[in-house]
Amino acid sequence: MKAQAAVQKLSFSTLFNWTAIPLLAGLTVWLLYTYVMLPIAPGSMEANIVGSTESGFGAVGDGILEHLRLVLISTGLAIATGVPAGILITREGFRDFSGIVLSVANFGQSVPSIAILALFMGVLGLGATTAIFALWLYALLPIVRNTAIGIESVRPDIIEAATGMGMTRRQILLEIELPLAFPVIFAGMRTATVINVGTAALGAFIGAGGLGDFIITGIPLRRDSLVLVGAVLTAVLAVLGDWILGKIQDRLVVRTA
């Protein structure tokens, strides 16, 4: 009986962990659609921006896709540059440069994101390019830092054993250090992605598009429905993104345990 109760408890816990966040996100979107979007009158200012039941809500779908494009491109670039940088500062001969590399990566976190947009707008101009650059810079620190921490946390006796077996430094890095450090590295990628989902809304200030368009349009016009559409959907994307990446991270931890 105790074993059966434990299995039932485990099954309920597993079911809850896998369904709670998606159901909550779905409920939130349903409430937004039912009580905010459906009441929008055709021909109104909100309908011209967001859409209505008569014209459809294609603008919302386009905003979501543009928002995801900004996040995926910028985070992908941050991973492509941050992981090699994190590896580099753990290698002999490059450790002295770790302070410089981390200072550059920390620039994106220490300076407000809206200030970064303003700084580089004059160089890169308005649009998605500047927003992607700012988001890339903003996402660097957690990826670089977690990569370095993950590699440095590999036990020295494992490295010594691999060296004694005749493995080269490159083989040790690719076959031992990176696989063991990958859950920590992935946690940095997860953090960077979630940060960028929220920060990408600010790209609307420089014409980058995304869900932030609804927010910055609705605030000065005092149109709560526009603000709610942009803010709620941005929050839902962040929560769902964190949940999906969290499940992937859990699988990675189990495999490397």
* Domain CATH for 136: 1.10.3720.10
pTM, two decimals, is: 0.86
Within a domain: 23: no
Number of domains comprising the chain: 1
Helix axes 58-88, 178-199, angle to 10 degrees: 140
What confidence score (pLDDT) does residue 241 get? 92
Q: Which amino acid is at 134?
A: A
Within a domain: 80: yes
Within a domain: 212: yes
pLDDT tens per residue, range 71-91? 999 999 999 999 999 898 888
Within a domain: 13: no
Helix axes 212-221, 58-88, angle to 10 degrees: 120
pLDDT tens per residue, range 220-257? 888 889 999 999 999 999 999 999 998 888 887 656 55
Q: What is the mean pLDDT of residues 101-123?
A: 75
Within a domain: 22: no
Tokens of 114: 């809206």
Within a domain: 196: yes
d(CA 178, CA 154): 9
Within a domain: 43: no
Looking at residue 56, the DSSP 8-state letter turns out to be: B
Nearest in space to 131 (alpha carbons), one of 80, 69, 84, 82: 69
Query: DSSP string covering 107-121, please?
Result: HHHHS-HHHHHHHHH
Tokens of 245: 């990446």
Within a domain: 177: yes
Helix axes 58-88, 224-256, angle to 10 degrees: 40
Domain that holds residue 85: 66-256
In this model, does residue 68 exceed pLDDT 90?
yes
d(CA 197, CA 219): 20
